[in-house]
Amino acid sequence: MTKPASLTDDLKKYLTPAFERKAKSIAAIDVKKLTSYTDTIIIIEANSQRQVTAIAEYLIKTLKAGGIKAIGVEGIKEGEWALLDYGDVIIHVFESQKKSFYDIEGLWADAPRIDITGFEKEYDSKEEL
């Protein structure tokens, strides 16, 4: 197992909208030393197909408002698996059964995970205020 990578402020802007839409689980994987097409893969699990669509659409809208436009987008309307390509960051939003089936985290088992637990706790405490 590799040492967890640190969460950067730049990456937080991709994670915040997912936390705002109450994703079931979120994982971030540092792949910059293992592939040339992206630096980070974010995997978001949603409770339903409707939530997959809602999270993906909200991510696109929120990031675009912050000046970050997607290079490519796939699968939003189907609601089982949405792929949002932002170049340095690729975001997968899965319905639970599809997440288990495709096991993207298992595919990147050798890549360091980015520790988002501190940000998750910090975000949760902000919501309670």
**Whether the Cβ atoms of residue 120 and residue 44 lie closer than 8 Å to each other:** no
The pLDDT of residue 115: 85
Residues 6+ apart with CB under 8 A from 107: none
Q: Which domains does the chain have, with CATH numbers?
A: 9-124 (3.30.460.10)
* Out of 14-18, 34-38, 90-94, 118-122, least confident range: 118-122
Count CB-CB contacts under 10 A for residue 69: 10
Q: What are phi and psi of 87, to 5 degrees?
A: 80, -90
The pLDDT of residue 19: 87
- Which of 110, 127, 111, 129 is CA-nearest to residue 19? 127
Task: Examine the pLDDT at 5 and tell me if it is beyond 70.
Answer: no
